[in-house]
């Protein structure tokens, strides 16, 4: 068995490609296969066979061994590849995290989708480009919500969607925070960057994260702090500076208030040396 991917999983968010046939393989990313106008046969792991009829789609979770085949005269099987790890980081601390987490847990008997959900996903996939754009992000989020609702048996009414503007805003803030956590996070300054009033900006953030803007910023900084303490050999002072705290003692107090332990104690509990 081999991993098949033409794309660096650390950098891409979403891509359209074709699926190799008659070769057992797996991906680091999630994948949606489109049957289009001919049936699709799959062998999942070693012993679970699936047939997807024309017009349906098949969801393949990350790290799932599969083999794809279809009639010889058929066109190549289209594939929508989604980097769930990167997507998760881009929408951290928003309501979109839960549907993404569920995409890792699909059961073998619940991988084929048809009907209205499949039609909508096929339609939305045609708007996705093989490049990093926020417009791609909003389409992918809506696709994930459709899969989650369909899998959960939620059929009443039209799928409730967040506006594209709100999705893009949350994703942009997560990218900004990950890249420059020490920047000026004055709410008036940030709201102007998105051409919004302070009240509108704060209302959207609270609606999508469940907390005021500065509470969300602090929580995301604490998430980044935990990641640094687990994986990087930086001193507490260095981490404090990177995250934009006024001093190491201020950082340590905020960390203790959040987790009930000091950064040094947390690092030690993770099996890392205290620097």
Convert the pLDDT of each residue in 14-32 to its tens digit: 888 888 877 788 888 899 9
Which of the residue ranges 3-7, 175-179, 240-244 has the most confident prediction, judged by mean pLDDT? 240-244
Kindly tell me if the per-residue pLDDT of 167 is higher than 80.
no
Residue of 156 and 228 predicted with greater confidence: 228
Beta bridge partners of 34: 57, 78
The mean pLDDT of the chain is 82
- C-alpha separations of 217 from 112, 146, 185, 189, 245 in Å: 39, 29, 8, 14, 12
Rounded distance between C-alpha atoms, residue 22 and residue 234, angstroms: 47
Convert the pLDDT of each residue in 228-269 to its tens digit: 998 888 899 999 999 999 999 999 999 999 899 999 999 988
- Which two structure tokens, joined as six digits, stand for 222? 């604490």
Which range, of 18-32, 100-114, 169-183, 193-207, averages the lowest pLDDT? 100-114
Task: Give the per-residue pLDDT at 47.
Answer: 74
Q: What's the pTM?
A: 0.59
Beta bridge partners of 26: 3
Sign of CA dihedral 52, 57, 59, 60: positive
Which range, of 162-171, 205-214, 220-229, averages the lowest pLDDT? 162-171
- C-alpha separations of 231 from 32, 53, 169, 227, 234 in Å: 32, 46, 28, 6, 9
pLDDT > 90 in the chain, percent: 22
- Give the alpha-carbon dihedral of 6, 112, 43, 18, to 10 degrees: -20
- Give the alpha-carbon dihedral of 230, 231, 236, 237, to 10 degrees: -160
Q: What is the mean pLDDT of residues 139-148?
A: 86
Convert the pLDDT of each residue in 127-137 to its tens digit: 887 666 666 77
- Give the alpha-carbon dihedral of 243, 248, 254, 257, to 10 degrees: 140
Q: Which domains does the chain have, with CATH numbers?
A: 2-163 (2.60.120), 180-269 (1.10.10.60)
Rounded distance between C-alpha atoms, residue 33 and residue 95, angstroms: 26
DSSP state of 81: E
Neighbours of 72 (CB within 10 A): 6
| CA atoms lying within 13 Å on the CB side of residue 84 | 22
Q: What is the mean pLDDT of residues 32-43?
A: 88
Kindly tell me if the per-residue pLDDT of 5 is higher than 60.
no
Beta bridge partners of 48: 44
Residue of 9 and 37 predicted with greater confidence: 37
Task: Give the per-residue pLDDT at 2.
Answer: 44
């Amino acid at each position: 068995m081999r991993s098949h991917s033409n794309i660096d999983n650390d950098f891409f968010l979403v891509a359209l490609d074709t699926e190799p046939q008659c070769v057992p393989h797996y991906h680091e990313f999630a994948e949606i296969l489109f049957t289009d106008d001919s049936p699709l046969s799959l062998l999942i792991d070693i012993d679970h066979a699936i047939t997807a009829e024309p017009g349906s789609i098949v969801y393949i979770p990350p790290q799932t061994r599969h083999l794809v085949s279809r009639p010889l005269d058929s066109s190549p099987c289209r594939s929508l590849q989604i980097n769930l790890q990167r997507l998760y980081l881009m929408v951290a601390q928003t309501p979109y995290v839960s549907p993404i987490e569920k995409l890792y847990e699909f059961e073998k008997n619940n991988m084929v989708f048809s009907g209205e959900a499949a039609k909508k996903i096929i339609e939305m996939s045609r708007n996705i480009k093989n490049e990093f754009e926020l417009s791609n992000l909003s389409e992918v989020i809506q696709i994930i919500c459709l899969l989650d609702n369909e899998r959960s048996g939620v059929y009443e009414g039209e799928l409730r969607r967040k506006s594209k503007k709100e999705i893009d805003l949350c994703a942009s803030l997560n990218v900004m925070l990950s890249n420059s956590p020490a920047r000026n996070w004055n709410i008036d300054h940030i709201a102007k960057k998105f051409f919004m009033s302070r009240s509108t900006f704060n209302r959207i953030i609270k609606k999508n994260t469940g907390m005021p803007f500065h509470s969300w910023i602090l929580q995301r900084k604490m998430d980044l702090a935990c990641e640094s303490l687990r994986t990087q050999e930086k001193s507490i002072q260095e981490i404090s500076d990177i995250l934009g705290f006024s001093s190491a003692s201020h950082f340590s107090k905020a960390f203790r208030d959040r987790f009930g332990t000091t950064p040094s104690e947390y690092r030690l509990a993770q099996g890392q040396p205290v620097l």
